[in-house]
Amino acid sequence: MGLNQTAKKLQMARQDLKHITLCPGKLQIVMAQLRKIGAFMKNSGLGQCWIESELYGPATVKQIIDGNHVKGGETAHIQTLFVLYQEAFFQQDPSPYRCLQELAKQLCDACIDGSKEQLKETHDKHRVTANCWENGCV
C-alpha cells in the first residue's frame, strides 16, 4: 500500500486536495492479498514444491511469495487450490481416480504406439467418459 501512503501524504500537505477521497485500486488490493497469503505460507514448503515440480523458478517463487508477481501469484495459488480440491474429491470417492488412471494409461500407450486409429479411439473413449461424468451417469 506504498502508493496510497504517498498519495495520503501529498493530500495532507496540500489544502486543495482535502476534498478527495483516496481508495486503493483493484491492483493494490490484489497485491496486498497476495502479500498476506505469501507471508502466511512463507515457510510452508509450498514454494519449494513449485520449484521442484518445475512450475516456477526460484526467482519467480520469491516474487510470488513477496506479492510482487500478480499474474504468477494468482495462477500459482489457484493451481494449488485446485490440486488440493481434486485430492479431497478423489479421497471422498476413489473410483473416478482409478478410471482416469486407466484412461491416461491407454492414451499414453496409444501415443507410444503411434497408431492414429488407436489414438482417435482412445480420445473418443475419454470424451464419452467425460460427457458421462458431466451428465451424472458414472
pLDDT at 135 over 70: no
pLDDT at 3 over 80: no
Q: How many angstroms separate the CA atoms of 40 and 73, rounded?
A: 14
Residues of the chain with pLDDT > 90, as a percent, come to 9
Per-residue pLDDT, averaged over 31-57, amounts to 88
Query: Cell 488490493 identifies what position?
Result: 29
The pTM (predicted TM-score) of the whole model is 0.59
Compute and round to an integer the Cα radius of gyration of the chain. Answer: 24
**Nearest 5°: phi and psi at 137?**
-95, 0
For residue 85, what is the enclosing H or E element?
A: helix 70-92
Within 10 A of 100 (CB to CB), how many other CB atoms are there? 15
Q: How many angstroms separate the CA atoms of 61 and 67, rounded?
A: 10
